[in-house]
Amino acid sequence: MKKEEYNQTEIQNPSNDSTDGTNEDKEFLRTEPLGRLLLRLALPTVAAQLINMLYNIVDRIYIGHIPEIGAAALTGVGVCMPLIMIVSAFAALVGYGGSPRASIYMGKKDKDSAEKILGNCFTLQIIISIVLTAVLLIWNRDFLMAFGASENTIQYGVHYMNIYALGTIFVEVTLGMNAFITAQGFAKTGMLSVLIGAVANIILDPIFIFGFNMDVRGAALATIISQALSCIWVVSFLCGKKTFLKIKKKYLGLTPEIILPCLALGVATFIMQASESVISVCFNSSLQNYGGDIAVGAMTILTSVMQFAMLPLQGLGQGAQPIISYCYGAGDSQRVRSAFKLLLKVSLGYSILLWLFVMIFPGGFAAMFTSDAQLMEYTKTALRIYMGSMFLFGIQMACQMTFNALGKAAESIIVAVMRKFILLIPLIYIMPQILRANQTMAVYMAEPIADLLAVTFTAILFAVQFRKTLKNI
């Protein structure tokens, strides 16, 4: 099909599946009421993020309740989180860098360029998966000891990572390529991609952990089998008849002019997720120094609760991304502005609501992950401190995800680097020197202070750059 024959019906109705588009509305990303459209696109992506969160959180819930070894095993697996975050970050580097660019080309009615991006990104995900698998298998013990594991917990971390590493390719392809499904407007299909794996994980976890007495090895095995099922679903869809953009053999060869702009755009998301790994290492090593295994164990729970905030907010941003990217490519500045305002309101409302729940019911969140009375009581206090500024975080995520949707790589990188590297990491080490009376809790306090300063900086930068971007459309 020639580009000039590429019509809008094909752009927005890649299939007759009523769950992902309507035949009556050929330009629904530009014409459908924003509230209803964001609801239709964001609900599945938020659900997908929540479901995806279950992979790790369900593991931790089951592991934390293993008789006799639960607390130590939870701490050991918690130290694995930096490595798991790195794997997810590489998937985001490619997937969330390539999918907005594919959406923009769809808005320009350039299908060939969009499919070249898809093919290049798929190949790169495979290459990255092979490299990561080798690195994790060879050096996981060294990494875990450096990341805050102790002699009491290292065995559980090594047992988990030795198996998890074998499923790296499934994680990479599932997370990275699913972004291209959502970017085409197939939000419900994207949700199903992770739902398949999550349901399998929930079923397999207790079977392997308790039924076969495999403890943390069982949790890892359940995870990689579940991710393999999701991977098969995602690749089958992108090679099938229902998708608009297809993985084609002729576009699998890596082309620098295609892949490099995608990577540049994905760097911000990569930094945002990979820096979570670096930050987790900094937190764990500092907490191990001041508070020991119980402080590191509490951090595992705190990180899990933080995902209740981060992942739904990312899901909202991913739901809004096709709207913003498409309308930006089509030159509809008013629609871009209105979509951002709606995203901001919804994101801020969610972050405030979650913050209230954490402040009022910290014990309920802690009890989800442990039955150890000492760890639970310790976590309640730490959680209120750690999540102290969460009510503002909707602003941060809405602005950052909109930068990404507009293809503004530099601005996305700046706000990601500012929050994590310039503010949070130094504060992890500065706060215990300021508040010497309780140095362990001072470490947790670095998070809300960094969030407050980062949101202020991001809001100012976004207000200036967003105005310029709309004028230039």
What pLDDT, on a 0 to 100 scale, did the predictor assign at position 25? Answer: 38
What's the whole-number average pLDDT of the chain?
A: 86
> Which two tokens mark 404?
């990404």
pLDDT digits (tens, 9 = 90+) for 442-454: 999 999 999 999 9
Q: Any long-range contacts for 56-60 (C-beta under 8 Å, 24+ apart)?
A: 56/81, 56/84, 56/223, 56/304, 56/307, 57/304, 57/307, 58/198, 58/201, 58/202, 58/205, 59/201, 59/205, 59/219, 59/220, 59/222, 59/223, 60/300, 60/301, 60/304, 60/369
Q: Quick one: the chain helix, strand, coil %, rounded to 5?
A: 85, 0, 15
Does the pLDDT at position 2 exceed 50?
Answer: no
Scan for tokens 């869809």, then name that residue: 237
User: Lowest-pLDDT range, 99-108, 252-261, 430-439, 454-463?
Assistant: 99-108
Tell me how far apart the alpha carbons of residues 324 and 333 are, in angstroms, rounded to a whole number.
9
Mean predicted confidence (pLDDT) in 101-105: 89
Rounded to an integer, what distance in angstroms lies between the CA atom of residue 344 and that of residue 395?
6
Model confidence at 124: pLDDT above 80: yes
Cα separation values, 398 from 253, 312, 339, 345, 381, Å: 34, 11, 11, 9, 29
Judge whether residue 7 has pLDDT over 70: no
- List Cβ neighbours of 442 (8 Å cut-off, separation of 6 or more): 431, 432, 434, 435, 436
DSSP string, 186-203: -HHHHHHHHHHHHHHHHH
DSSP 255: -
DSSP 14: S
Higher pLDDT, 343 or 68: 343
The whole model's pTM is what? Answer: 0.69
Burial of 3 (C-beta count, 10 Å sphere; 0-12/13-18/19+): exposed
- Report the pLDDT value the prediction gives residue 434, as an integer from 0 to 100: 94
